[in-house]
Amino acid sequence: MSAGSDAEMAIFGEAAPYLRKSEKERIEAQNKPFDAKTSVFVAEPKESYVKSVIQSKDGGKVTVKTESGATLTVKEDQVFPMNPPKYDKIEDMAMMT
C-alpha cells in the first residue's frame, strides 16, 4: 500500500488487509485469468461455499473441482456464479467498470 493508503487504513488496525487490497494485489487480480462460465461457488456442507471450477454438466448435475482439489458432483441449484477477482474488496461502484 502507498503511504497515503496506509495512513487511511491505520484506523482499521489489524482488519485493514481484509478491507482493502493493496495496489499490487489489485493489479494482479486484474491480470489473473478468469473464465466467468466455469468459475463458480458451490454449496458445501463443511465449508458453506467454496471456490470451484466446473468440470462437466450432465442432466441437472454439475461436477466441479474445488480449490482444495476435491471433486464434487452437485445439483445445478447448488452452483453459483463467481464475480471476477478484480472486484474483490472493491470500495467504489465506479471502480467496477
pTM, rounded to two decimals:
0.62
> What does the radius of gyration of the chain's CA atoms come to, in whole angstroms?
17
Q: Are residues 27 and 41 in the same domain?
A: no
Sign of CA dihedral 9, 15, 20, 26: positive
pLDDT computed for residue 93 by the predictor = 67
- 26-62 pLDDT, tens per residue? 777 777 778 888 999 998 878 789 999 999 999 999 9
User: Is the pLDDT confidence value at 22 over 80?
Assistant: no
- Counting Cα atoms < 13 Å in the Cβ hemisphere of 78 gives 18
In a domain, 90, yes or no: no
Name the residue among 37, 32, 61, 64 with its Cα closest to residue 51.
Answer: 64
In a domain, 19, yes or no: yes
Q: Are residues 56 and 25 in the same domain?
A: no
Per the structure, the complete domain to which residue 66 belongs is given by 34-84
More confident: 16 or 95: 16
pLDDT computed for residue 96 by the predictor = 64
